[in-house]
Structure 1
Amino acid sequence: MGNAKNANVWAYADVYIAPVDATIPEGGADFSNEWEQVGLLDGEEGITEAVEVETEDLYAWGGVLVATTHNNFKLTRTFLPFEDNKAVYDLIYPGHDVTFGDDGTFEGDVNLPDLQAKFKIAFETRSGDTIKRTISANYAQVAERGEATENATELAKREITVAIYPTDPDSDGKSVLFKTYKGKAGAPADGTT
């Protein structure tokens, strides 16, 4: 028998970015000022996750399948911000010299981006007072700067795909992709109130 508490439709979502050395909030604690919110996201497209693994089938004489190798794991997440703000420009054009006003204005130079820029990234979905977070344990990089759309019938948006890089293996050989939490917003890591 299934458990409906394990299934969710999320009412809201946010993406945050921060420097690689930023502190990851414990449990449902608030993000510190070192985390920038990407802003309004395309809710219809949502946040999509893709996993790529290279496989190769190995056969013995006579065409008998003996084994399959699985190598080169890659995890990406794609989202579409609606806003032109500092966090979005930090993702699309890292190293830019653009300043942003509180009233939606901006001015400055868009430089050739640093394509090797690294950052921490956090994905948060919310419904009521329940949140679900996945925060990069190591770092992320923009893997693809997709199309930017500006037209007369819909909000301007950009497609951003980030690759999540795991930590170095620990003494048990485990590499961590994400720190994750699902529970009450503002709750400490141990779930107590």
Structure 2
Amino acid sequence: MAGDPSNASLWTDADVYIGPLSAVNPTNANAPFGSDWGLVGLLDGDDGMPESRDEDTDDKYAWGGILVRTSRAHFKLTKSFSVLEDNPTTRSLIWPGSSETEIVVPVPVPVKVGFEVRDSGTGKVHRLITRRYAVIEVDGDVDQNETDLTKVTLAATIYPDSDKVLFDRQTTPVLSSISVSPSSASVVVGDIAALTATATYDDSSTQDVTSAATWTSSAPSKATVSAGFVTGVAAGSSTVTAAYSGKTSSCSVTVTSS
């Protein structure tokens, strides 16, 4: 079977953040949302965050029934999620305009929304943050009973900006490979040589992972290794390998007596 398993994701956790139109986006997927964002809390993982796309299409045909062109207009994107908590953030979405003591007829207001999913197996984080705003409304009935958690499904209609941009997308880079440098080294018995492990990600960024990698020597009677530092033990050779997040790279080490 062809394909790259590292490109597949199993989203094991998720959060939805709500902010005013003035809310500032995090700088990247590793940065936390600021204090101007509110968290809806527990979500129903089985329901997930489904997207619904609506668009008016009109097929144009030439004589003879030949399809020539399709016109498209009125695109609408709705993204849903189901909340399990009753907290100030969820109440502001379910009953906008209401207070702690009064429930009024809801009139949805524009808000910014950040959708975040996480893959605990790879550490990958994926975020979609509304570029302009969303309008959130209750989708379906709200049932309160003695056997099920109270759940409210909310549907967020996403409004694009003037350039038709719906979301700002933030993702953590995915590890593509690691490399050990130098690729070969020579060390005298009793001396120490330093190796470096560098990680390369799918966005072409790199990171020194020497201290985070796991180092092994194929012949510890000839050379030992710890945190990238190779110590010559006896004349001979060994292959030193660095492993980091499922990726490996090696260096050929020659140990001489002098």
Q: Same fold (TM over 0.5)?
A: yes
Match of 1:126 among 115, 118, 129: 118
Match of 2:165 among 159, 168, 176: 176
Q: What's the counterpart of residue 241 of structure 2? A: none
What is the letter of the counterpart of residue 142 of structure 1? I
Q: CA deviation at 1:162?
A: 0.5
Describe the shift of the 1:191–1:11 C-alpha distance in structure 2 as closer, same or farther (beyond 3 A). farther
5+ residue gaps, structure 1: 99-107, 170-174, 185-189
Q: Work out which structure has the larger RCO, using CA pairs closer than 8 Å and 6 or more positions apart in sequence.
A: 1
Match of 1:114 among 107, 111, 115: 107
Determine the C-alpha separation between the residues in 2 that align with 1:192 and 1:33: 31
Q: What's the counterpart of residue 101 of structure 1? A: none
Q: What's the counterpart of residue 215 of structure 2? A: none
Describe the shift of the 1:84–1:90 C-alpha distance in structure 2 as closer, same or farther (beyond 3 A). same
Describe the shift of the 1:191–1:168 C-alpha distance in structure 2 as closer, same or farther (beyond 3 A). farther
Aligned residues: 174
Q: CA deviation at 1:30?
A: 0.5
Decide which structure has greater strand share: 2
Contact 2:53 2:75 (C-alpha < 8 Å) held by counterparts:
yes
* Structure number with larger C-alpha Rg: 2
Q: CA deviation at 1:89?
A: 1.2
Determine if the alignment matches structure 1 residue 164 to structure 2 residue 158. yes
Determine the C-alpha separation between the residues in 1 that align with 2:83 and 2:206: 34
Q: What's the counterpart of residue 88 of structure 2? A: 86
Determine the C-alpha separation between the residues in 1 that align with 2:156 and 2:79: 5
**Identity score, percent:** 38
Contact 1:27 1:191 (C-alpha < 8 Å) held by counterparts:
no
Correspondences of 1:36-115 after superposition (within 5 Å): 36-98=38-100, 108-115=101-108
What is the letter of the counterpart of residue 181 of structure 1? Q
Q: CA deviation at 1:112?
A: 1.5
What are the superposed Cα offsets for residues 42-97 of structure 1, whole Å, 9 maximum, x if unpaired?
01111111111211111233433221111111111111101111111111111111
Determine if the alignment matches structure 1 residue 139 to structure 2 residue 128. no
TM-score in terms of structure 2 length: 0.63
5+ residue gaps, structure 2: 174-203, 208-258
Q: State which drifts further: 83-92 or 59-68.
A: 59-68
The RMSD of aligned alpha carbons is 2.0
TM-score in terms of structure 1 length: 0.83
Contact 1:13 1:126 (C-alpha < 8 Å) held by counterparts:
yes
